[in-house]
Structure 1
């Protein structure tokens, strides 16, 4: 997260949603070493609905090789199509085929923008300038992902300036879920010619507040419905992680990953150590922890992780300006929800890697600061780059 002092007026985007027709083709055309793909269609009518008095729709961006589908309910990604090592078109982001399932799901965060504060705040309380604030409790004794009605459960304004870019904007009013300040937020999704899904976040406030925005895409690089992700290979560029208590609140320590199941410095399978007799794994029922990133930094972006699907050869490299990343191995997926292709969200059939500031930072003075003051601009970028490798 970068905080900038502002001069002048912040321009908010309040642009009504429009419906777009998607291609109905499903093919892959070879163009030398590159492949041109046309994603399976997303039924736009299935996403056309009035929710909380605002229009919800479905949107598409792409570059001819990679296509992503979104909805402005939760400013969320619904699907991401790319060719695997054999040229077969593969949807690597799990999600639902219509808006009604997003509204009724038992897992509210699939693909969503998370805010105002991603991850957990202990007991939902924090203090700013001597004033204590109480956020709504929604995860045991704690607040998770912004409280009961976080950014995943609001309808965002949307603008599509070109075929590769979507801009979502939302005004979170003073007192929403207990947070102080009117927070004007913008999320810009774009697909580059390098097969990168770029996520850019901006925000300003008129009263000091805390902020920690991220995206909660659930990935399966072998494709939605292909089974569990335990044989995905993972490398995380982090030599430390945040140990947690039994409610998943960080203890305040930065623990070395060496000689623990959390050592992904060298590539290993997700399932290699996930069932080890380890207290931290028991607390999270698997991996659900923040890693402190130390990857090589270039042009202000740090290499956070590399993940590869064992069946597809699809590789995802994550780069970010954030100091941490939450690795979640789908431990609370219970098969209660049906995805686009008809499969269910069974145990560990997807994973999330959420770039972020550390959980509970407002109550942990030693953690990087997440406060945002009037006259400052919150700005952070994360990139998910896709390629194939046999």
Structure 2
């Protein structure tokens, strides 16, 4: 568990509005503090911005430099071994204790419905090579919320970012009966520490198939798995949908290789188990240690880019 972190002297806040939607952004962790549709909260969040500095759930944060887990908190690149901050047992999770989610970003509101967050991560931060300039542009374009994420390194280094909202879609009783659909029928095999082995498993053989909508409660285990998007997915269609029993629907578009689905089994007070679900498109976890996985190494001539689009609609049956 993370130790208590210093609270930044000033956490800045920006509020975006468009149509029937409102979004609150914080400089700390480039965090989405709240997202409301017709007054209903779509995600979990703290009312007090300072609570995020002691949060261990990564609520609404931008996580990295490398999202998810890196086994043994180390990797080799160009014949050099890099030792990372081990903040989950012997492994590194979401960039370590001083990852992007634990930094105070520069926040600038551009218009009534758009803001930009910027952060320069120095050479050696959490053990990673290279200085990297990160930018997260957030635009509320009713009924869509769009995240445009980029990173410019000064030398080759791994980068894989995830946006870590916990989606509740206005339900106060949790997300167990929400139906999830993914453009995927495969997921990564992991060990008992959540570290991928390199093997890709057919979800249809394990009861983990969400290629057709299925209630999250229908899976007999707590979800904390990376699903590989189908390579032949149809252009322009969402890669994931989350639908409530009342018909409110979140659709997700992403240009990433896959998505981590986490059903909130370890949420802590003031929240409760499965109060929200994370849908985190990103690169493959532990990719620097598994040559068969798609590379997440970025370079000055090949900077990092990601676009995440979220859309709310009603009346889905």
Same fold? TM cut 0.5: yes
Following superposition, the deviation at residue 233 of structure 1 comes to 0.8
Structure 2 match to 1:38:
none
Asked if the contact 1:141/1:247 (under 8 Å) is kept, the reply is no
Following superposition, the deviation at residue 179 of structure 1 comes to 0.4
Structure 1 match to 2:55:
105
Asked if 1:387 is matched to 2:313, the reply is yes
TM-score, L = length of structure 2: 0.94
* Residue 203 (structure 2) aligned to one of 257, 273, 282: 257
* Residue 150 (structure 1) aligned to one of 99, 102, 115: 99
Aligned runs of 1:159-238 on 2, under 5 Å? Answer: 159-193=108-142, 195-223=143-171, 226-238=172-184
Asked if the contact 2:28/2:101 (under 8 Å) is kept, the reply is yes
Report SS of the residue matched to 1:303.
coil
CA RMSD of aligned residues (A): 1.5
**Deviation readout 1:258-302 (Å, 9 max, x if unpaired):** 1322101111100012x2xxxxx4xxxx11010001263426xx6
Q: Number of aligned pairs?
A: 310
The 2-side partners of 1:176 and 1:321 are apart by 27
Q: Which runs of 5+ in 2 are unaligned?
A: 1-5
Report SS of the residue matched to 1:69.
strand
* Residue 303 (structure 2) aligned to one of 350, 374, 377: 377
Aligned runs of 1:1-390 on 2, under 5 Å? Answer: 51-52=7-8, 55-83=10-38, 89-107=39-57, 109-193=58-142, 195-223=143-171, 226-273=172-219, 275=220, 281=221, 286-294=222-230, 296-298=233-235, 303-311=238-246, 313-334=247-268, 336=269, 338=270, 345-390=271-316
Following superposition, the deviation at residue 114 of structure 1 comes to 0.6
The 1-side partners of 2:211 and 2:89 are apart by 32
Distance 1:347 1:51, change over 3 A: closer
Structure 2 match to 1:21:
none
Runs of 4+ in 1 over 6 A off after TM superposition: none
The 1-side partners of 2:180 and 2:56 are apart by 28
Asked if the contact 1:222/1:310 (under 8 Å) is kept, the reply is no
Please say which structure displays the higher CA radius of gyration. 1
Q: Which runs of 5+ in 1 are unaligned?
A: 1-49, 84-88, 276-280, 339-344
Following superposition, the deviation at residue 51 of structure 1 comes to 4.7
Asked if the contact 1:296/1:303 (under 8 Å) is kept, the reply is no
